[in-house]
Structure 1
């Protein structure tokens, strides 16, 4: 049965960084709080587990790395998770207990080869407790490339639900027009955009995506302060000149004509709620459907390589 309305929630919070259990506890607490208020789709920010290490260099300069920075990175690696793994089982049990969809930004450890590479990922958990899919950020931004590897076209899911198709991109990969088009072509209805960008220009971005894709956009950011960081990090002194609030948030929910439905929320921890009317999506596409009647496939075409990229392939001789 299709549902034409859904209450959604964007969680604006942050755990104690580099602390897996802190993030797990915060996810449990905030999910329950949102579910008590009727939310059925609950979204957490970019790399909520184990946090976005804004302001840290991990001792990296061009041509050199420090021993302390390596130790900080190993601590970050140790607080990351396997997907699937024990933590996703816990999230599945939570989602099933509460009957909600969970979308969570995590740092994912590679399970295929060395287990050393990390990915900036988003996982999708269904109300039956199943892991429905994941997306790995295609291009980490700037210095993020020292922390996270690149995703590929095998993790660009758009997932069918009773209230429409959900999927999304992470932070600045939303500035990749062809990546957005790949999601539009899958009929996305609720576009999820977890981020670490609290600038005013990000608000222009999410409103543009909503208007371009004629979809709802749930944009979710952390509210993080210096108190979110363990003081025993080797690189903690790098934060001395920064403001006490390191990420002011800006979580918001936008309708398919580009207007705010809720938010943006700034300068505090909180939850942004909205009840989405899915009938607004076909109404909005009456005069503009980016991959339908407003496309020109005779002029423009996009090819998406959805094959998983592997450095080693085993064949039988």
Structure 2
């Protein structure tokens, strides 16, 4: 494999909801399979650790909260991880054992202030097991705002690797034009997009972003069924009548001119693996570079605040 090529893997699976041990076990399983197939990087779905609680209301109609909903949220809190912490050390050992760059969606528990707020985050690991960085979702979507706090500009993380610069935006953050522009300006070569969106329109988004950013887009979604929901959840009735398949997947890999490298996978779990020719990124920018020769800074400029915003500052 030449210097300009990299083999990447995308995981489409789901752990048991609110079961951190289940997620960590699956990370080891899928990482080993990706390594066996020659991958150097593996990408996992949005909030793979902790799980995406699709369909749950957490007992929170407008204007009130129920005791049962608080009980389930407490389970969710316990399934989150701190970054860094003992769980990231365990994942780092998996990265080192498999020699992979790991990109994993997780529910992150704040460890700096109250210890109670949760975030929807991406966490990055190097093949030496090191924790390379994280990104917190800037704006949780709809009812997600009940579960997760808002990230700030301090985690618009991009990681340098021997095969290019990787970074990510989570699910509908990719509909934020200014967030995308900020990532393009960081020289992104591979944009990872962990998601919970299985609609056909999400595929149009992936292809547009790849073509707009002239980068590879690697999207990972869960294939999730009701079997992943513990029946003892206080609010299990929320999904009792739902279809058996809660998320059909749709993970895919798209090239920098908007064409599929691997088309979307639906209706089953699986591992997508592809060889990416990173020189395609350079060739694709011959006629379009959103933050280079196709920009007009005399007309449009973007100001990005990357400082950390703290609720309490000690003087």
Whether TM exceeds 0.5 here: the answer is yes
| Contact kept? 1:214, 1:285, Cα under 8 Å | yes
Q: How far apart are the structure 1 equivalents of 2:153 and 2:218?
A: 22
Residues 1-317 of structure 1: matches in 2 within 5 Å?
3-315=3-315
Spell out, residue by residue over 1:159-194, the C-alpha distance to the aligned partner (whole angstroms, 9 max, x if none): 110000000100001000000000000000000000
Structure 1 position 3, deviation (Å): 2.5
The number of equivalent residue pairs is 314
Cα distance, 1:128 vs structure 2: 1.3
SS in 1 for 2:220: strand
Gaps of 5+ in 2: none
Q: For residues 217 and 27 of structure 1, what CA distance do their matches in structure 2 show?
A: 21
| Post-superposition offset of 1:112 | 1.2
Question: Aligned equivalents of 1:91 and 1:283: distance in 2?
Answer: 36
Root-mean-square deviation (Å): 0.8
Secondary structure of the structure 1 residue equivalent to 2:129: coil
- Cα pair 1:48 1:106 within 8 Å, conserved: yes
Q: Matches of 1:151 and 1:211 in 2, distance apart?
A: 27
**Deviation at residue 99 of structure 1 after TM alignment:** 1.1
Whole-angstrom CA distance in 2 between matches of 1:209 and 1:167: 14
- Would you say the 8 A contact 1:263–1:272 is kept in 2? no
Distance in 1 (alpha carbons) for counterparts of 2:42 and 2:130: 15
In the superposition, the TM-score normalised over structure 2's length comes to: 0.99
Deviation at 1:241, TM superposition (A): 2.5
**TM-score, length-scaled by structure 1:** 0.98
Q: 1:19-49: per-residue Cα shift (whole Å, max 9, x none)?
A: 0100010111111011111111100000000
Specify every segment of 5 or more residues in structure 1 that has no aligned partner in the other structure, as ranges.
Answer: none
The CA deviation string for residues 224-283 of structure 1, in whole angstroms up to 9 with x for no partner, is: 000000000011111122110000000000000000000200000001111000010110
**What SS does the corresponding residue of 2:186 show, helix, strand or coil?**
coil
